[in-house]
A and B are shown apart, each in its own frame.
Chain A
Amino acid sequence: MDATQLLKGVLDVAVLAVVEGEDGYGYDVVRRLRAAGLEEVGDASVYGTLRRLYSAGALTSYVVPSEEGPHRKYYGITPQGRSMLEVQRKVWAEFSTTMNRLLFEEGAA
């Protein structure tokens, strides 16, 4: 199975998770995701996801002017984003438990 297909379904929660602790700008988020092991994540997908989460109210954003380069647009998590992340964590935990049992435990029904 192609991991990029799986990634599409969980990119929202992955992005929320990496900005939960610290605000980040677009490429910063990409880099954190890749550092966490999601090496195949496409940067445009991440930027689009950030934008969608912002529209949904899960993220806040602000522009930081840069002295030596173009502006950077930072995203931070909102309370709504945090509660969304909590729900998604539970969903993921249950889902991954189910899948692990299905895939790796013998005699699973």
Chain B
Amino acid sequence: MTPTIAPQIASFAAAVRDALADLPDEERDELTEGLEADLSEAYAEDLTNTLPDPVEYATELRQAAGLPVREAPKPSVFAGLAEGWQRTRGDVLAALRRNPMLVSLLDFAAALRPVWWVARAWVATWLVSVFFGSEDGFLPAGPGWFLLLAVAVVVSVQWGRGLWRFPGLPTLIVLGNIVALVAILPVVAYARGYSGAHDDYGAGFGDGVDAAQIDGLAFDGAALENVFAYDADGNLLRNVQLFDVDGNRLAPTRMAEETQWELQPATLETGEQVFNVFPLSATRMTWDDGGGELIPDPNPDPDKVRAFQDGPFVKVPALQKVSGSND
């Protein structure tokens, strides 16, 4: 008796037996006895048939025979990881699918998967760019990094859609997902901190601007020392009370450090002392280097004092008389 078995069939059957190696010899022999004959006949009948994956074939054989499914021999730690993840995910999903509430939740989560595809591409790009020190808040700095981000998003989404596959990709995706999951919170926190630094800077800048603001009447960015009102005839008015539209008293800053004038308030009939009565009286101050404080100027410039009291002009041009509108 000289059994003739095509070599590819013989090696396929051997691979199937290998995949069943965890079974007792007797069980395995019973299960695979006649396998070569069956396969030979099957593939002689249809030569276009290609032999399937022997491991999958063995699994189908084993399952149909009601034998326990083998813990697949792990080709590598990482491939095992990917496989284990896929199986665990499958089991968990199957268990969750039994609960109708969770099903709708799952479907909702499934609809959000593209968001994750983009997020992991962002994390990956960010991690690469931070390695080169080119991150800038949430976004990498520079057009090159944006291009990389765009490429990463496209690749990630294609992989997510099950396209652009290659051997070993499932493992890569599982590892990448783990890295992205672990990294995303710290990365977001760091990126936020980075933008936060910008915010702090902005706030500080704002404070500086506020500090530079004049606390009182100002003109063209400079503090006003006094205000002089002239009437229609061009004569200086005294004791003019000024208010804004909200009824606030208009008063110059009382920080003598700014203007070097120590303002004297006017007293209202109510007894209240106010600084919106113009022109205001004031004392010319000077900086006393010895005492480190402002003191009344012992020798004030008389022109300045006079101008402060009596206005820059003795008289200004009167308004043009309009007939019929005689005051």
Contact = CB atoms under 8 A, between A and B. Distances in A.
Interface residues of B, number: 27
A73 B61 CA distance: 16
Contact of A48 (B4, B40, B42, B61): B61
Contacts of B67: 48
Interface stretch (B26-34, B84-92, B119-127): B26-34
Interface string B25-54: 000001101111111111001000000000
Given A27-B37, A47-B31, A51-B31, A71 B65 contact: no
Chain A, interface size category, equals: 20 to 34
A47 B37 contact: no
Interface string B1-37: 1011100000000000000000000000011011111
A48 B69 CA distance: 13
Contacts, number: 87
Contacts of A31: 45
Contacts of B215: none
Main SS class of interface, A? helix
B239 interface: no
Interface stretch (A60-68, A77-85, A98-106): A60-68
Interface in B204-260: none
Contacts of B33: 63, 71, 73
A11 B66 CA distance: 13
A68 B64 CA distance: 30
Given A43-B42, A51-B30, A71 B61 contact: no
A11 to B, nearest CB: 7
A65 B62 CA distance: 25
Given A65-B1, A66-B3, A67-B1, A48 B62 contact: yes
Contact of A47 (B38, B41, B45, B66): B38
Contacts of A49: 64-65
A10 interface: no
A27 B4 contact: no
A72 to B, nearest CB: 5
B65 A48 contact: yes
Nearest to B40: A69
Interface of B: 1, 3-5, 30-31, 33-42, 45, 57-58, 60-67
